[in-house]
């Protein structure tokens, strides 16, 4: 591997400018990503505002492994990978999805589809997982979807 020292670029002003431009561009991109909170949402429809249409959410399995595993299992079992945001229906959906599923000491009952999705509620897949994983994942998803209106369709992709 050849190492190029900055001083060896003396007399190569054009190369220095290109290198500085590239470094500036990379730093700018990293800054924007950081400033936007590492938002992993991507728009999948035309030019609609971010509060409508369909978006894709890349769920971080490394951060919330139990929740990620549950989402994968539920989708494989036939549950939808799409969540249509319905915050007003969340309480009722949670009541229906958790009916008949007893609590267990030291565990949360994780639902897929989530209660905040119109696809959630009765018939949701429920799994016992660690509270830290479940609540962290719920908070993360809520933060990612905060700017989107009810009715927005969100495709979950577990990374």
> Taking the domains of the chain in order of start, what are their residue ranges?
6-35, 41-158
Helices 65-76 and 131-145 meet at what angle, rounded to 10? 80
Distance CA 145, CA 51 (A): 9
Q: 117 near 125, Cβ under 8 Å?
A: no
pLDDT digits (tens, 9 = 90+) for 24-36: 766 666 655 655 5
pTM above 0.85, yes or no: no
Distance CA 155, CA 93 (A): 19
pLDDT digits (tens, 9 = 90+) for 45-101: 444 445 457 999 999 999 999 999 999 999 999 999 999 999 999 999 999 999 999
Angle of CA points 131, 137, 140, to nearest 5°: 135
pLDDT for 106: 98
């Amino acid at each position: 591997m050849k190492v190029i020292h900055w001083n060896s670029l003396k007399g190569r002003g054009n190369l220095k400018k290109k290198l500085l431009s590239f470094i500036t561009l990379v730093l700018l991109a990293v800054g924007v990503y950081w400033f936007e909170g590492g938002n992993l949402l991507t728009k999948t429809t035309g030019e609609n505002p971010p509060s409508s249409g369909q978006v894709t959410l890349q769920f971080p399995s490394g951060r919330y492994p139990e929740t990620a595993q549950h989402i994968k299992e539920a989708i494989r079992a036939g549950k939808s990978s799409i969540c249509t945001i319905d915050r007003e229906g969340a309480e009722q959906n949670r009541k229906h999805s958790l009916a008949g599923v007893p609590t267990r000491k030291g565990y949360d009952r994780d639902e897929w589809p989530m209660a905040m999705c119109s696809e959630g509620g009765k018939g949701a897949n429920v799994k016992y997982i660690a509270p830290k994983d479940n609540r962290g994942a719920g908070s993360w998803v809520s933060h990612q979807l905060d700017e989107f209106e009810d009715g927005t369709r969100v495709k979950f992709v577990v990374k």
